[in-house]
Structure 1
Amino acid sequence: MFQNKNVKILVVLFLIGLLIAVRAFEGILFYDPFMDYFKAEYANLSYPQLDSILFYLNLIFRYTLNSIISVLILYVIFDDIAMVKFSGSLLLMFLIVLLFSMFLLLNYSDESQKMILFYVRRFLIQPIFLLLFIPAFFYQKKTA
């Protein structure tokens, strides 16, 4: 789609800027009581009170926002619809697994699992999968 390399670079930089904006305005855009919790000395604190439905809806919204931008970045870089579909499928599968894990950790485990909760939440709120997909897809393209 983007034949001009300079346009491609500008579009990718713009999309990365959108990911940065999601992170920069997270306190305004999303309901997440764990944001302040994990910034504090959480080892000695109980989990914060939360509105579960609002919390999960905001996690899904943020993950979806990051995923759409990530898939667009992958499309601009690789210009491959099959790769975009595969990425979207993986991201959807990861969302389901991570949300289920988050639910289990919050409702059926004790608070000794705080670090696991921290990392599950991190995968839900940050576009970490993009950092894994780009080198994997470059390698796959190179070896194919």
Structure 2
Amino acid sequence: MIKELPKQIFRFGLLVIALVCIVLIRIYEDFLFYDPFLDFFKRDYQNQVLPDFNSLQLFLGIVFRYGLHMILSLLILYLLFRDKKIIFLSSVLYLLFFLVLIGCFFFLLQASKQPNYLILFYVRRFLIQPLFLVLFIPAFYYQKMIKK
């Protein structure tokens, strides 16, 4: 038990660092990523016109942000559960969800002049925030509890 203490402290330290990194991504999002929708969705956007945006820059910014969140989330999941099957499943789900959500996001942006802003807001939210981590932790915890 005492021999395990340094490993547990190290894991806890890495967990805290990963969580701090997620918070720092949120704090410095204006500087790190190209996203003209950050200010748009902070205001009363329902009766506004979408801001001008560069599709390629927007795509690359979302990919970069989603990738950072995915890597940090997988690290957190590994530190919490230490199960490679969970990491593999989570990786596949992250990639699958990304493909579906990024397709929906750009379809909504390009499909009409006045897209449904609420749907656009939530699709974008899943792409730029670590919401899957918030969903995966209780799901995998519950699964582990059932197996015991």
1:92 matches 2:98: no
RMSD over aligned CA atoms reads 1.6
Question: 1:112 Cα shift?
Answer: 4.7
Tell me which residue corresponds to 1:74.
Answer: 77
Gaps of 5+ in 1: none
User: In the aligned structure 2, how far is the partner of 1:122 from the partner of 1:17?
Assistant: 20
Name the CA distance, whole Å, in 2 between partners of 1:7 and 1:139. Answer: 25
Offset at residue 58 of structure 1 (A): 0.6
Q: Structure 2 residue aligned with 1:10, among 1, 8, 13?
A: 13
| Structure 2 Cα separation of the partners of residues 108 and 45 of structure 1 | 17
2:108·2:115 contact (CA, 8 Å) conserved in 1? no
Cα distance in 2, alignment partners of residues 120 and 36 from structure 1: 16
Shift of 1:11: 1.4
Shift of 1:19: 0.3
Structure 1: how far apart are the matches of 2:139 and 2:88? 15
Query: AA paired with 2:32?
Result: L
CA 1:118–1:136 in structure 2 vs 1: closer, same or farther (change >3 Å)?
same
SS in 2 for 1:43: coil
Give ranges in structure 2 of 5+ residues lacking alignment. none
TM-score by length of 1: 0.95
How many residues are treated as equivalent by the alignment? 144
Cα separation, 2, equivalents of 1:116 and 1:51: 20
Q: CA deviation at 1:4?
A: 3.0
Give, in angstroms, the shift of residue 47 of structure 1. Answer: 0.3
Whole-angstrom distance in 1 between the partners of 2:42 and 2:134: 23
Q: Tell me which structure has the larger Cα radius of gyration.
A: 2
1:56 is aligned to 2:59? yes
